[in-house]
Structure 1
Amino acid sequence: MDAEQLHACARDRAQELPASSGGFPFGPDHEVFKVCGKVFLLMTELSGVPVATLKADPADAELLRGAHEDITPGYHMNKRHWVTVRPGGPVDESLLRGLVTESSLLVVQRLPRDQQPVDPESFGRG
């Protein structure tokens, strides 16, 4: 996936998710997506290269970083709970869409049940 496709794919998937909202709360260079007010996706550029930073289960994050050269610890985020995806490596559209979905669900599962826009145990798994 090239640099332009990375942000477009992540943005498209984030916009499809229930209760997702996007904006630029940190300025025009940092596009952020939230679910119920909680961040699950941050898109920016590092040295002119678009990247997407996503929440991840710590065990999954470790496996992802070991398996994909274009997935690194979350840039400017908690390195155990966030990953940064860079363009040009083996991460494809399907994997990126899944990472965006899982990031959103990690946020949703921590919300009180009456505030969850979807059931995080079953959404997208059927």
Structure 2
Amino acid sequence: MNVEELRQRCLAKRGVTEEFPFDADTLVFKVMGKMFALVPLERMPPQCNLKCDPERSEELREQYDGLITPGYHMSKVHWNTLFYEQLPPQLVAELIDHSYDLIVGSLTKKLKQQLADLG
């Protein structure tokens, strides 16, 4: 998966916006104002940070040693850094979905309803 495919996967989800809240090189995807993916565009090799269930994070880090690591500049328990161009595209897509779903699950009842109303 390349950066444009990653971007399209994120933007295809309901209620997602993209912005550069930190600097001109760090693309952030949010659902209802809550971050679920962070993509430092200038970092090589290409990578992104995604939220992940802590138990699953440990398993992924062991299985994909060096390609999935504790989240760079993020909570090491709840975020992973993925070297996404070196991972199976299906896995990256699944982990984007997982990150999005975790954030949606943590939204308030009001925000969940607003998200549902988006159609």
Per-residue displacement from partner, 1:16-69 (whole Å, max 9, x unpaired)?
Answer: 000010011111110000001010000015753221100000001111101113
By how many angstroms is 1:8 displaced? 2.1
1:76 aligns with 2:73: yes
Number of aligned residue pairs: 113
Identity across the alignment (%) = 35
Tell me which protein shows more helix as a share of its residues: 2
CA distance in 2, matches of 1:97, 1:47: 20
When normalised by structure 2's length, the TM-score is 0.86
Superposition CA RMSD, Å? 1.6
By how many angstroms is 1:87 displaced? 4.3
When normalised by structure 1's length, the TM-score is 0.82
Equivalent in 17, 26, 32 of residue 28 of structure 2: 32
Equivalent in 15, 18, 25 of residue 14 of structure 2: 18
Does structure 2 retain, via aligned residues, the 8 Å contact 1:34–1:41? yes
Contiguous gaps of at least 5 residues in structure 1: 119-126
CA distance in 2, matches of 1:51, 1:114: 33
Contiguous gaps of at least 5 residues in structure 2: none
- Give the structure 1 partner of residue 98 of structure 2: 102
